[in-house]
Structure 1
């Protein structure tokens, strides 16, 4: 069976699309919602990134820590934000290549905004058996598609709680294997 290369999930949040976009499009804020990403070093913290912006994502899964090099590929205020992960490493993003794409869409609905988060595996040249072996090692037993599916749902739930004034989510890295942005 061929591996799943993309997963996504959506949630409706009682907030305006532009307000949600402005938060998501500032990668330094992702640590507020992600169970794995702890934020990012961006050129202009507190402001939405624009197409071409490069940033360094910081991540934690259990005791493991790593950084990624990312480039914003889409930035349409109130509608869509996306970035490619192009390098990864323990302290410096040295291993370069197509790693993943993360995208967020914002659709106005009667109750507020439908936010959709998607992850696309950039390792299309990896043989399925090699990707599966790496995925299970890196995630504690899951394929990245399954791993990311669960973590996207957790990130969206935390974003909703935050935007609507609800309870906060677990701190990054306080999970048993499930973590979002495994490549971020």
Structure 2
């Protein structure tokens, strides 16, 4: 069976899209809600433009790794996306298509009035390895199909993001 390559989840937050964008488009702020991200390094503060490159610092179950990412969409108040184009240790990185991440922001009216945002986060597996190899890797890395792991990861991430935004 072919592996599931895309996982999407959404949450409605009680803040306008511009406030959500200011947070999600600044990778240095991601540790505030991500279950795995422990930081990011960029050459500029604040929301990043298309083409900007940043390094993500990540950890899962005591295993640490870095990613090199490039911003692929930066539409203030509407969409922020990036592609992971390298992964590995601090010095050696495998350059390959790994994954892409996207935040879409849609203005919504909250019950009782007020501006809110539907935040839709999407992860897409861009690994080119055969499905059989991916299943073995996924069993080691996430104890099952990567898509199942990411489904839980996205749900937790979005709930934490809501808490940060509405605090």
- Tell me whether the two structures share a fold, i.e. TM-score over 0.5: yes
The match for 1:3 is 3
Structure 1 residues 97-125: Cα deviation after superposition (integer angstroms, max 9, x where no partner): 000000000000112100000000011x3
Q: For structure 1, list consecutive stretches of 5 or more residues without a partner in the other structure.
A: 166-184
Find the aligned partners of 1:104 and 1:39 in 2 and give their Cα distance.
18
* Matching of residue 79 in structure 1 with residue 78 in structure 2: yes
Aligned pairs, number:
162
Instruction: Describe the SS at the equivalent of 1:60.
Output: strand
CA contact (8 A) 1:11 1:114 kept: yes
* TM superposition outliers: structure 1 runs of 4+ over 3 Å: none
Instruction: Describe the SS at the equivalent of 2:84.
Output: strand
Q: For structure 2, list consecutive stretches of 5 or more residues without a partner in the other structure.
A: 111-115
Instruction: Describe the SS at the equivalent of 2:150.
Output: helix
Counterpart selection for 2:126 from 119, 122, 126: 122
Structure 1 residues 10-60: Cα deviation after superposition (integer angstroms, max 9, x where no partner): 000000101100100000100000010112001123x10000000000001
TM-score by length of structure 1 reads 0.86
The match for 1:163 is 165
| Structure with greater proportional strand content | 2
Q: Aligned-pair distance for 1:93?
A: 5.2
* Matching of residue 113 in structure 1 with residue 114 in structure 2: no
The match for 1:175 is none
The match for 1:149 is 151
The match for 1:27 is 27
CA contact (8 A) 1:69 1:93 kept: no
Find the aligned partners of 2:148 and 2:23 in 1 and give their Cα distance.
26
Structure 1 residues 109-159: Cα deviation after superposition (integer angstroms, max 9, x where no partner): 112100000000011x311110010011111x1211111110000010001
